[in-house]
Amino acid sequence: MSNTPATTADKPAKPKPISKKIRTAIDAMVRGDAKTITAAAEQAGLSREHLSRELSKPHIANLLQEKVARNLAVSSARAGATKVDLLDSANDMVRDRASSFILGLAGHSPAREPSVSFNIEVRAGYVIDLGSDDEPMKTVSP
């Protein structure tokens, strides 16, 4: 057996620490309490510049993406239930749009545009003279 020390590849990577203020700013942005980085920084007691620099670091950007994905996963269930509730709306247009949306998700979407095809033989370069017959014709090409 060898008595070589363990290398860093053998040990799991230790996650980089993220300060409580940065986490507070991220939570405010994900919840929607802060609409801008400036507002999130203000709520967390940070400068806008510092928060912006921190958000550009990969481990902090990953945390933000994870929290956003988690929030969207929970919110998508509510959004789906809302669409289903709209199927029972008193407004015909709301019911129509909700049903079209749900059918589209199921793969039964109607055609978006009518398929009308125009085939006219007009080529670029022709000049239509709308002047009076009294004026002499002019050549406009070199």
| Domain regions of the chain by residue span | 20-105
DSSP string, the chain: ---PPPPTTTSPPPPPP--HHHHHHHHHHHHTS-SSHHHHHHHHT--HHHHHHHHTSHHHHHHHHHHHHHHHHHHHHHHHHHHHHHTT-S-HHHHHHHHHHHHHHTT-PPPSS----------TT-----S-TTSPP-----
Q: Is the pLDDT of residue 8 over 60?
A: no
pLDDT attached to residue 130: 73
pLDDT attached to residue 4: 59
The percent of residues above 70 in pLDDT, for the chain, comes to 75
Decide: 33 and 43 in contact? Cβ < 8 Å.
yes
Decide: 83 and 106 in contact? Cβ < 8 Å.
no
Name the pTM for this structure.
0.56
- Tokens matching residue 120: 């006219």
Any idea what the Cα angle at residue 29 is, between residues 24 and 33, rounded to 5°?
90
Averaged over 98-117, what is the pLDDT?
Answer: 78
Q: Is the pLDDT of residue 122 over 80?
A: no
User: Which of 54-63, 75-84, 112-121 is predicted least confidently?
Assistant: 112-121
Mean pLDDT, all residues of the chain: 84
